[in-house]
Structure 1
Amino acid sequence: MAIATDYSSAHSLKVTPSSGEDYTHYKIVKAKYPTRFFGTLFAAFVIIAMLQSILTNSKWGWDVFAEWFFAEPVLAGLVRTLLLTALASVLGFALGTALALARVSKSPLLSGLSWAYIWLLRSIPLIVLLLILNNLGYLYETVRIGVPYTDISFAEYPMVSILSPFAAALIGLSLNQAAFSSEIIRGGILSVDQGQLEAAAALGLSRRRQAFRIVLPQAMRTILPTGFNEIIGLAKGTSMVYVLALPELFYTVQVIYRRNLEVVPLLMVATVWYLIIMTVLSVAQYYIERHFSKGALRNAPAPLFGPLLRRLFGASILARPPFPAVFSGTSVPKAGTSKSSFTQWRAPGAIRIHGVSKSFGLLKVLDNVRLDIKAGSVTAILGPSGSGKSTLLRTINHLERVDDGFITVDDELVGYRKSGRTLYELKEKEILKRRADIGMVFQSFNLFPHLTVLENIIEAPVSLNRLSRPEAMNLARELLVRVGLSDKINAYPRQLSGGQQQRVAIARALALRPKVLLFDEPTSALDPELVGEVLDVIKELALSGTTLVIVTHEIGFAREVADTVIFMDAGKIVESGAPDQVLNRPANPRTAEFLAKVL
């Protein structure tokens, strides 16, 4: 489909003032704010007074400051501080990520172990932890490498030779950092909408891919501000290793001023170096946050020092090329060149639902549901809110585990393996593989906001090794032509309207070439003006022979497109049949009552 709007008439409109007077050359005088002016004047006075006091007071000892600022011992201490900060940050956040993922794990023992580590390390003061590590040789004199719980030993080393002051400081800072960073990362993970996990699972992405490609990149916007606070705190906290007599920046400065008694100038040496470190980290934080803001804002934040960089290097230094420079090749179809309908890549699947029941606590949502859906058919599911429509749809691709019964697609069980008269639930990896044959379009779109339209569509086919990256990009371009969005290939979801987002979601589901395509109220989150865009795409899909199961409130659409209409109430299929029979001559009084209210 293609949707075009004629804006040509807009250019012919002219705005004419009500009077004949020409306002184009009037001088504009901006409003004046005396309070703001005097506030600015006061701030300038305070700054000038402070600088004058600091720079003219000889007791600050700026000559001593200049003498020691680049002194070799100070620079050596600075290098140790930077090294400890960098290594402890990397190790601490790597371990913190593992701890955070363990905290949200479904394994109670693993989650409990992670919680215990965090509880313990956050309870112990850093200075106590450093002293314990430095005296670890008292508890364990040697480190033995061999077979556990036997006398077989391959090598043995004294603890004091392994755990130097620097190693003890690095280990202590990393362990302490991991405990605090894990909670920051866990908070970021919990901030990601649950729909993102469901969308990733519906596409068949592995747990690891879900975590590192979908969840953590989105969580970074929450993690980064607090995470950088921790890193900055760590850079200053390295001064704590003075208890190990390790000559980092602060300890080195202490040693020097104890010898020459120039306390204030030497403290200023350390202060200025810490200010420089914090400034560099703050600039890094800005640009990293800017990187992870893609897709979260309609317009990316302006580069820091943008005007200065433009003046020094020209505008090209700040230009950000569009994501896929890969489309310059001739192998990629251009918009408008595809004349065919949605290509039927795979034979459509038949669905059989065998006595499925599902409860949430005491509430029975599905009650012994039985249904056969023919391959290539279009089935519309109607019913009041809370009747179990969406839950039934989600059991088909095993996003919801059933309590009783089972579902097959082309006689292949979804989520289970049959042995005799017993069903064994498959492991998550195998469920994800089978789920990829059952595409799903969600009510709230659930596009990945940090990925472009192209990246959203190619993520699953490439991740699951169904297509090579060039093949997936060719397919994405073809699908976007079919849904009328070929010009949005580099856009982020937040830059699209609701109807456009839902059409991208349909293209994303089709990119896996599924046997069955499920729609969970695909138009309910849209403005009435946008509903037609999405319904036109679904109509074209219906004509292609794809097996479609659609939960909808659009009665007219169901009448026009569906082969079978199903009416559900209180978790049961009350009535099913051809659209003309169910919608015009319902056999069940409950169906007639519902239709009388909505028609």
Structure 2
Amino acid sequence: MPASPDKEPAEPVPAGSGPVPIKAIPVRHYGRWLGAAVAVALLALLVRAFAGANINWDTVNTYLTHDTILEGAANTLLISVVSMLLGLVLGVLLAIMRLSDNPVLRSVSWFYIWVFRGTPVLVQLMIWFQLALIFPTFNVGFYSEPMKTFMTPFLAALLGLGLNEAAYMAEIVRAGILSVDEGQTEASHALGMSKAKTMRRVVLPQAMRVIIPPTGNEYINLLKTSSLASAVQYNEVLKRANDISSSNLQYVELLFVAAFWYLVLTSIFSIGQFYLERHYAKGSLRSLPDTPIQKVKRMVFTLRRPEVPRS
């Protein structure tokens, strides 16, 4: 067939020549460099302001590992972990009650969540600590004790933080349960599994990848909120820092010490949250996110230039 007069014949490609390599020119992002420069400048100004402020950094360094501060940090860790466990167990129970077909259980769960989410944590802590004004005696029949003796600062902090956390965990768990397809439940019932067994073996394991991320955030928030327990005389790290500053009158320095330990504790649990999320993401993601060590290795290998072979 003769070639079309409108089209010119293609030039023959020389034998042995390959495709012409494409010269890729990276796009210059001037906005990124400008934003990075502004951020570095602001950080330098902030560091300079703190370095030149009237702060006795020797005092901060001295009390970072003081026995009283370490005891307070340990108490902060204890009350946050125990309160979170109480909130998690009670939150799962409240979430199941909220999803129940029984209207009484649904109403009780809704009322609990409404009350504890609608009132400040500090108010709840003070109510528990002053419960002796309402109930002078703790009496359960076989055990009786004055409420002032029974309601210790630790117990008041545990009830105030744990019961409040349960209201938030109930909504998180309920959202995780609702994220599981109903077909999973129907298939389990078709196999003869009971509702409790279906919830325990089918629904909750799949809901964990939805529950874990906000639960980790809630725990970190609870760890910081535990500083309010100083209002009920619980010896956590902020109260210990305030006790020391009331004697040496160096309030800002001891606040920096308390902030340092809160930052350390939250950083440790943030790393744990990352690995926990990564574990439960198996099966739902094509590739798991890189761990911090893997990110560092990739950055190092990316920056390392390839060796040019000598001729």
TM range (shorter): 0.7 to 0.9
The equivalent residue for 1:448 is none
With over 3 angstroms needed to count, the CA separation of the structure-2 counterparts of 1:243 and 1:39, relative to structure 1, is closer
For residues 237 and 244 of structure 1, the distance between their equivalents in structure 2, rounded to whole angstroms, comes to: 13
With over 3 angstroms needed to count, the CA separation of the structure-2 counterparts of 1:26 and 1:72, relative to structure 1, is same
Alignment partner of 1:30 out of 26, 29, 37: 26
Secondary structure at the aligned position of 2:54 is classed as: helix
Superposition deviation, residue 177 in structure 1: 0.7
Deviates more, 1:37-46 or 1:19-28: 19-28
Q: Is the 8 A contact 1:89 1:174 kept in 2?
A: yes
Superposition deviation, residue 23 in structure 1: 5.3
Q: Is residue 102 of structure 1 aligned with residue 97 of structure 2?
A: yes
For residues 198 and 78 of structure 2, the distance between their equivalents in structure 1, rounded to whole angstroms, comes to: 33
With over 3 angstroms needed to count, the CA separation of the structure-2 counterparts of 1:24 and 1:270, relative to structure 1, is farther
Q: Is residue 277 of structure 1 aligned with residue 265 of structure 2?
A: yes
Superposition deviation, residue 239 in structure 1: 1.3
Q: Is residue 180 of structure 1 aligned with residue 162 of structure 2?
A: no
For residues 178 and 239 of structure 2, the distance between their equivalents in structure 1, rounded to whole angstroms, comes to: 40
Q: Is residue 303 of structure 1 aligned with residue 298 of structure 2?
A: no
With over 3 angstroms needed to count, the CA separation of the structure-2 counterparts of 1:302 and 1:204, relative to structure 1, is farther
With over 3 angstroms needed to count, the CA separation of the structure-2 counterparts of 1:29 and 1:134, relative to structure 1, is same
Output aligned runs, 1:505-584, within 5 Å: none
Superposition deviation, residue 98 in structure 1: 0.4
With over 3 angstroms needed to count, the CA separation of the structure-2 counterparts of 1:309 and 1:124, relative to structure 1, is same
For residues 139 and 41 of structure 1, the distance between their equivalents in structure 2, rounded to whole angstroms, comes to: 59
The equivalent residue for 1:136 is 131
Structure 1, unaligned stretches of length 5 or more? 1-17, 147-153, 312-599
The equivalent residue for 1:67 is 62
Percent identity between the two aligned chains: 37
Q: Is the 8 A contact 1:286 1:304 kept in 2?
A: no
The equivalent residue for 1:41 is 37
| Higher-Rg member (1/2) | 1
For residues 143 and 164 of structure 1, the distance between their equivalents in structure 2, rounded to whole angstroms, comes to: 12
For residues 143 and 240 of structure 2, the distance between their equivalents in structure 1, rounded to whole angstroms, comes to: 37
Secondary structure at the aligned position of 2:292 is classed as: coil
Superposition deviation, residue 78 in structure 1: 0.9
Q: Quick one: which amino acid aligns to residue 131 of structure 2? A: L
Superposition deviation, residue 27 in structure 1: 7.0
Secondary structure at the aligned position of 1:195 is classed as: helix
Alignment partner of 1:165 out of 153, 161, 173: 153
For residues 67 and 165 of structure 1, the distance between their equivalents in structure 2, rounded to whole angstroms, comes to: 28
CA RMSD of aligned residues (A): 2.6
Q: Quick one: which amino acid aligns to residue 88 of structure 1? A: S
For residues 159 and 298 of structure 1, the distance between their equivalents in structure 2, rounded to whole angstroms, comes to: 56
Q: Quick one: which amino acid aligns to residue 251 of structure 2? A: V
Q: Would you tell me which structure has more strand in proportion to its own residues?
A: 1
Structure 2, unaligned stretches of length 5 or more? 1-12, 300-311
The equivalent residue for 1:117 is 112
- Higher relative CO (Cα under 8 Å, sequence separation at least 6) belongs to 2
With over 3 angstroms needed to count, the CA separation of the structure-2 counterparts of 1:110 and 1:158, relative to structure 1, is same
TM-score, length basis structure 1: 0.45
Secondary structure at the aligned position of 2:72 is classed as: helix
With over 3 angstroms needed to count, the CA separation of the structure-2 counterparts of 1:96 and 1:76, relative to structure 1, is same
TM-score, length basis structure 2: 0.83
Q: Would you tell me which structure has more helix in proportion to its own residues?
A: 2
4+ residue runs over 4 A deviation: 23-29, 307-311
Once the two structures are superposed, residues 95-125 of structure 1 have per-residue CA deviations (whole angstroms, 9 ceiling, x without a partner) of: 0000000100111111111111111222232
Q: Quick one: which amino acid aligns to residue 34 of structure 2? A: F
The equivalent residue for 1:503 is none
Q: Is residue 81 of structure 1 aligned with residue 76 of structure 2?
A: yes
With over 3 angstroms needed to count, the CA separation of the structure-2 counterparts of 1:36 and 1:126, relative to structure 1, is closer
For residues 65 and 82 of structure 1, the distance between their equivalents in structure 2, rounded to whole angstroms, comes to: 21
Output aligned runs, 1:579-598, within 5 Å: none
The equivalent residue for 1:57 is 52
Superposition deviation, residue 220 in structure 1: 2.3
For residues 96 and 246 of structure 1, the distance between their equivalents in structure 2, rounded to whole angstroms, comes to: 24
Q: Is residue 265 of structure 1 aligned with residue 253 of structure 2?
A: yes
The equivalent residue for 2:305 is none
Secondary structure at the aligned position of 1:294 is classed as: coil
